[in-house]
Amino acid sequence: MRRKLFILSLLLLPASLLINLGIMVFIDDEAIRALVAQEMLWSGNYISPTMHGDAYLNKPPLWNWILALSFTFHGEVNEWAARLPTVLGLLGFAATTYYFSRQHFSRYLAVIHAFTVITCGRMLFWDSMLALIDVTFSWVVYAQIMLLYEHGRRGNWWKAFGWAYALTAVGFMLKGLPAIVFQGLSVFAILGWTRSWKQFFRPAHLISGVGCLAVLVLYYWQYSEYVDLEKVARRLFIESGKRTAVAHGFGESAQHFLAFPFEMGYHFLPWTLLLVYLFQPGSWARLKQNDFAAFMLVAFLVNIPIYWFSPNVYPRYLLMLFPLLFGSLLFLHQEHETQRSLSYRTLRYTFLGLMAVCTLVIPFAPLFPETEIINYAWPKSILLGAAAGAITWTAWRNERNLLILFVVFLLLLRIGFNFFVLPPRAAGDERGILVQTTAYDIMKGHDRDSVAIFGYSLIEPATGYYLTKARGRVVRRQLEGFDQETFYLVSPVEYPSLQINQTDSLYLRHLSRAQPDGDVYYPFGTLPDPPQERVEWNKPLRDGMGSGLETRELEN
């Protein structure tokens, strides 16, 4: 029966991860990645990322290369093409988890471990649907840690450090300095675990580290032809440090420290319910029966403090760490299941209860008014409800396969989410729809006109993306050389006294949300009296204001 359930899980994966994948309007972080990749394709410059023709310094370019490849494959730039690489990265992450777990766990437990990566709440109902770096970056970091362990425990340090530092270079090109932080902490963990501290100073480690550095130097040597590397380094450090306690007050940091375990436990439900096993007497002794399970917990505990002590952290930053925790907890679950402990029985009935409640609700999804826009809502809900009921009934009767049945149930929930939540959410996203429609509207009739963003006007990335898509070419940011013919998009916040012959206006989603007095629109039109000097900005640059390094400067 397990084999059939494994096959059923695999058959449900495409539907659960792909249905309505491209239906939602981009959030800002997605729009940044897509816009930078689009400008790369138009310019043919894959070394120096730009956004609105202005140097984009916040992240290295590897994820933009991946998106550009997806856009080329699809023949267009859209939400689906941008999000598909995330789904593929997630499947690679799960496959990697299975591969390493299978070396130390039974096939059944390794399969469940792989599916916890996909079916934890944060991934299943949020991050797997976004065109962000984090899922693929987490896959790379998890593989780093696993390769350090697998080769390090055998004493094969050349392979351990060689592979791990190669992936550190990949991770850095995806997200910057966090890749080095994870590598440093994981090296500390494996050397401490194997009591091999001398390896830190031996050629395998030193040469591998230098090799990683050489790869990055090779890229930044090419990059230095376009941008001052001092500004790039400064920006990377700002990006890596803006979530830390240094950038926030003591009160906010203390509040985050206390709330962090509960927030992360919520985001990574339902598998964090297995934490009940970790607080049982003798848990560490049980874990030490399996070196892999014990090391995973150690690696998790070594790496988690960098986010526990960092306020303003998003759960997606921890996606690479929770599979480490889940692996340890699954091993403990297996031990408790064998003994039929009170903790196991409580958890079993909790899972079964959750399945039963959801099964009762699914068939009646079309009764919610928001689902009126869904075609064939009743047949879909009845079919999904029947499937969920069959899985729940089987789980009540077949205790031995509880976890894989629970995985199947979670995949069915995601399919129901795709059918009954995503379309109403997309249709009801009035702010997102306004971002799209106003961007397309102001571009109508300006195919042959010069269009630009004035100076350091703050442009929300989703707005910038849809403007660019509507125009079909770069909407550049202009800092000097202004004229009376160009149509400019101007922020009245940054430039309240600038006169403009307004012909249209552009909606700003997040500024409107933060504005109690009403929606925020930027004027769009020509300048009757354009400035003769280059505009300067002496205050700190916020995200969406550019870097001040125009394409014109990059070409010099």
Adjacent-strand bridge partners of 478: 454
Residue 423 has pLDDT above 50, yes or no: yes
Q: Please report how many Cα atoms fall inside a 13 Å half-sphere around the Cα of residue 340, on the Cβ side.
A: 2
Q: Name the one residue in this structure whose structure tokens are 């249905």.
A: 19
Residue 169 has pLDDT above 50, yes or no: yes
Letter for the amino acid at 484? Q
pLDDT bin (cut points 50, 70, 90) of residue 118 is: very high
Backbone angles phi and psi of 487, in degrees to 5:
-90, 120
Rounded Cα distance between 64 and 77, Å, is 12
Rounded Cα distance between 55 and 6, Å, is 47
Letter for the amino acid at 139? W
Q: How far is CA 488 from CA 136, 426, 501, 523, 537, in A?
A: 37, 30, 10, 8, 18
Its pTM surpasses 0.85: yes
Rounded Cα distance between 124 and 269, Å, is 10
Helix, strand or coil for residue 458? coil
Model confidence pLDDT, tens digit, residues 370-418 = 999 999 999 999 999 999 999 999 999 999 999 999 999 999 999 999 9
Letter for the amino acid at 433? I
Q: Name the one residue in this structure whose structure tokens are 């049982």.
A: 280
pLDDT bin (cut points 50, 70, 90) of residue 312 is: confident
Strands 520-526 and 501-508: antiparallel
Model confidence pLDDT, tens digit, residues 442-459 = 998 887 889 999 999 999
Q: Which pair of tokens denotes residue 414?
A: 């995601």
Residue 245 has pLDDT above 60, yes or no: no
What share of the chain in percent tops pLDDT 70? 96
How far does CA 510 lie from the centroid of its chain?
20
Residue 552 has pLDDT above 90, yes or no: no
Rounded Cα distance between 336 and 330, Å, is 10
291 close to 284: Cβ distance less than 8 angstroms: no
Q: State the average pLDDT over residues 84-89.
A: 98
Residue 111 has pLDDT above 50, yes or no: yes
